[in-house]
Structure 1
């Protein structure tokens, strides 16, 4: 048996929905990893795409799975988990482009730290305009390094021993957002170890304003369902969450704007006061979208509970 055969077999799982260009970029990198090609498989789970996404996926030496019954990325990931043959499951998103050492770095960290879960670095790419929405997105989202400190992580860049899903169960597939946070919290609360690997890098495009607002709405909507799953749906919990989050966002923007340390980006952050004001304005719109999402989510939850 050679050394390659002793490496753990890895299943890379990527959900996709109507993202032909993104999935092409992502797969171009994933099939060209430094990790031995005989020691990993790639499972792309299409979640009901209506464009040429599936045609693009078939251009690559990967497995194309379909999840049409439940619309949602967590349902798609669960389908991938069911079909995966790897000892380790590596999750990323269709709009993420991993570095060539991504798999090596993530797997190595799992062994070095003897951890059940490893969260990798999500590095933002900016457009040439580097808009206020992009800068806010880079400051506020996909910070796996910060989330690991709270015992949670995101599936944009996450390595998990498959046996962890056998113990904890799969992702809550009906959540529109936050299912990864909910699941990783359950894992760490059960005693599993989650560590951060800055060397396991995926690149993610910063969002322009419209995608940012859609994301914030989805996060707000999903947070209500998460509170319900956590048995934290008291009136006080929901009201306090609606009130406190906007304050936290503005405090965060203020602290990040003055922070001199390296952020999760490929380019230095701007210090121009006018640009900082633009970021605040983007934050205001983002908070409004999030609050609308939470209100809509709360109405849906109450309606469902009343009609039981």
Structure 2
């Protein structure tokens, strides 16, 4: 097997089905016997498994570890038999020549072990509207996990995606940073996928806060700093919401406070356990490195 396509999913069966239709035998210009498709389901949803069994039996289904998209992708990679790991998302629509373009790029750049492809919006007009969002990559340099490929040997050498990133934010940038310390990443413009443009949900500010926390984790990792300070970010946000409520006496701030309380009750223990588990993982890695050196 040459390529292993890994698709993490979570309760988006309708979009997943559209994605898989673009990858079924005969849909890609590359021969079907040169690639496999692995769907790793972080919801462990019986409906998703049944979807694959009935409509896409050529794809491999596995239940995810339910620890976020980074760990979910690692689960799929662990089952891969291909020499190259190709990652996309369950809401993306690969171009018919997607895999063929990557295959030609490997031939053109035989020393390269990491590639990224183009990500295009499904609605350029909607993307221009206020607060619409979509990852767009037309010139490279992004390495967003909606469309990347790397050698399985390199992925294993790097330890895969860092699972302390528990939301879909910065886990691919972290992998890019680690790859670029050793290898160049080549952009393949013809390896295209289409990504939907979305309007933000009602709780978009909390989602953005999670993304900022992921950015802090990545920044600290690059600088060799501890993530312990992140544990207090959520508490500071709660204290600030209480102060604004008391100071301004406005219902809007009271609603914001309620949302903060709900959010912090979830996020603080998650961040705490993330930090604790990461410390243990680093300790175990250091012990293993000592044994290897000895």
The change in CA–CA distance for 1:80 and 1:234 in structure 2 (over 3 A counts) is closer
Per the alignment, residue 269 of structure 1 pairs with none
Q: Which runs of 5+ in 2 are unaligned?
A: 231-262, 280-294
Instruction: Please report the TM-score for the alignment, with normalisation by the length of structure 1.
Output: 0.67
Q: Decide which structure has the larger Cα Rg and report it.
A: 2
Per the alignment, residue 46 of structure 1 pairs with 41
- Aligned pair partner of 2:144 in 135, 154, 159: 154
Give the distance between the partners of 1:72 and 1:144, measured in 2 at CA.
27
Give the distance between the partners of 1:205 and 1:29, measured in 2 at CA.
15
Q: How does 1:93-108 map to 2 (within 5 A)?
A: 93-108=89-104
| Distance apart, 1:51 and its partner CA | 7.0
Per the alignment, residue 172 of structure 2 pairs with 180
The change in CA–CA distance for 1:88 and 1:302 in structure 2 (over 3 A counts) is closer
Give the distance between the partners of 1:300 and 1:83, measured in 2 at CA.
29
1:132 and 2:127 are equivalent in the alignment: no
Tell me, what secondary structure is at the counterpart of 2:51? helix
Per the alignment, residue 66 of structure 1 pairs with 63
Tell me, what secondary structure is at the counterpart of 2:87? strand
CA deviations 1:6-51 (Å, max 9, x no partner) are xx61100000001111100100001121110111100000012447
Contact 1:110 1:117 (8 Å CA) reproduced: no
Q: Which runs of 5+ in 1 are unaligned?
A: 1-7, 239-291
| Distance apart, 1:66 and its partner CA | 1.1
Question: Bigger CA drift: 158-167 or 122-131?
Answer: 122-131
Bigger RCO of structures 1 and 2 (CA < 8 A, at least 6 apart) = 1
Instruction: Please report the TM-score for the alignment, with normalisation by the length of structure 2.
Output: 0.70
User: Considering only aligned residues, what root-mean-square deviation do their CA atoms show, in Å?
Assistant: 3.2
Q: How many residues align?
A: 234
The change in CA–CA distance for 1:105 and 1:304 in structure 2 (over 3 A counts) is closer
Tell me, what secondary structure is at the counterpart of 1:145? coil
Contact 1:102 1:202 (8 Å CA) reproduced: yes
